[in-house]
Amino acid sequence: MGKKTNIALAIAAASAAAWAGSKAISKPQQRLSKQALQYEYPVIFAHRGGAKLEPEQTMVAFDRAAQLGVDGFEIDIRLTKDEEIIVFHDDTVDRTTDGTGLVADLTLAEINTFNHGYHFQDLAGHFPYREKKLDVVTLRELLKKYPNILVNIDIKDAPDTYEGSLMPSKLWRLIEEIGAEHRVVVTSFYAEQTERFNLYAQNQVALGASESDVRKAFTAFTSQFGHLYHPKVDVFQIPAKSGRIALDSPKFIQFLNNLNIPVHYWTIDDAATMTKLIKNGAKGIITDRPDIAIDLLRTTTEA
C-alpha cells in the first residue's frame, strides 16, 4: 500500500477508536418528563389562536379554538411600556391594528385604543372586524380564562433589549402566581431567554427548543456522535423544513423521542401534511386551521 493509503487507514482507525471511546463513556440521557408534555395522542395547538379563522391572538380566536376542542394554544408574548405581558407577535402594532408604534413604547391602555382585528381577512376575503373593536389579550387573562388548556409561550423580546431583560423574571412570577407551571411550555428563538427563564423556574416548567438547540440536535443526529448530545430542553417545536434541510424524517423524530423529547411541527394547515407528520411520529401539530386538524384527529381516532 502507498503512503497516502496508510495515512487514510490510520485516520479511519483513529476516528473509529474515538467513536468507540466516546460511546463507552457517554450514554444518552433522557429528559425527565414534564407534566405539560404527558399525553397519549398527538395534540393540536391553535397557532396564535387559529390565525386563519379569527384575528390572531385575540380572545375571539382563543374562544373559537377552545370551542373546536384544541389541546393547546401557541402564543407569542411581549412586554409593554408599563410592563404588562401581552399576547402579541410583532414588535410594532402596525400589521394587525389600525394604529402604529412599538409595543415597548406603548402602555397597555394606549395599545387598547387600537382595533386588533382591523387587518384580519377571513377565508371568504372579508374584513369582519373593521367595525368591531377587539382589544389585545394579556397573558394573565388567557391563563386565567383557560385553566385546562396547554399554552406554548414564545418569548419574542430579544435579550439585549430593556423589555427583553425583564421578561424572564416577570414571566416566571406570573406563571408561579397563577399556578400554571404544569400546563405551559416556555420557548424562544433566543436560547438565552429560555436559559434565563429557567434560572427562576428551576426546571419546574417545560422548555422548548431555540434555533441553536435545533441546530445542535440535528448536527448530532447526522453525525456519528449522536450519543454525545445531551438536550437542555423538553420539546421541539419546529418547521417540517428549514431551508433545504428536512426536519420531519421518522429517524430524526425517533432520535428525539428516544431522549424523551416530543416533536411538534408548525405551521401546518393541510390535512395531508398533518397525516404524514403524525405517521412519522410527531406528537403535536401547530396550526392556523384548528378546524381541519380537529376533523383529522377525530377521523383518525374513530378509525
Res 260 pLDDT > 50: yes
pLDDT value for 244: 87
**Per-state percent for the chain, helix, strand, coil, to nearest 5:** 40, 15, 40
- The answer to the question of residue 223 being in a domain is yes
| 11 pLDDT above the threshold of 70 | no
Query: What percentage of the chain exceeds 70 in pLDDT?
Result: 87
Closest CA to 266 of 244, 293, 291: 293
Residue 141 falls inside a structural domain: yes
pLDDT for the residue 226: 57
Model confidence over 111-152: pLDDT tens digits? 999 999 999 999 999 999 999 999 999 999 999 999 999 999
Q: Tell whether the model's pLDDT for residue 29 goes beyond 90.
A: no
Nearest CA-CA partner of 145 in 87, 205, 89, 83? 87
Output the CA torsion sign for 271, 213, 168, 258: positive
Are residues 212 and 191 in contact, defined by beta-carbon separation less than 8 angstroms?
yes
Residue 4 has pLDDT above 60, yes or no: no
| Coil, strand or helix at 167 | helix
Residue 17 counted as domain residue: no
- Looking at residue 60, its pLDDT comes to 98
The answer to whether residue 292 is domain-embedded is: yes
Residue 298 in any domain: the answer is yes
**Does the structure show a pLDDT above 80 at 17?**
no
pTM: 0.88
How much is the pLDDT for 2? 53
Is pLDDT of 198 > 90? yes
Q: Are 171 and 85 in contact (CB under 8 A)?
A: yes
pLDDT of residue 157: 98
Residue 60 lies in a domain: yes
- Using 50, 70 and 90 to split pLDDT, how confident is the model at 20? very low
pLDDT tens digit sequence for 71-115 = 999 999 999 999 999 999 999 999 999 999 999 999 999 999 999
Within a domain: 23: no
Count of structural domains within the chain: 1
What integer pLDDT is reported at residue 128 of this predicted model?
96
Q: How confident is the model at residue 12 (pLDDT cuts 50, 70, 90)?
A: very low
Residue 259 lies in a domain: yes
What's the pLDDT score for residue 243? 86
Q: How many residues does the chain have?
A: 303
pLDDT at residue 300, as a whole number: 63
Q: What is the pLDDT of residue 115?
A: 97
How high does pLDDT run on average in the chain? 89
Higher-pLDDT residue of 221, 103 = 103
* CA 292/CA 272 separation, integer angstroms: 10
Are 166 and 159 in contact, with CB atoms under 8 Å apart? no
Q: In one letter, which amino acid is 195?
A: E
Contact in structure between 45 and 150 (CB atoms under 8 Å): yes
Residue-wise pLDDT for 266-292, tens only, equals 999 999 999 999 999 999 999 999 999
Helices (H), 92-209: 108-111, 139-145, 162-178, 191-201
Q: In the chain, what's the furthest Cα-to-Cα distance? A: 83
Of 98, 91, 124, give the one whose Cα is nearest residue 112: 98
Cα(132)–Cα(115) distance, integer angstroms:
8
Measured CA to CA, the distance from residue 127 to residue 130 in angstroms comes to 6
DSSP state of 232: S
* CATH code of 227's domain: 3.20.20.190
Q: Amino acid identity, residue 79? A: L
Domain that holds residue 292: 30-302
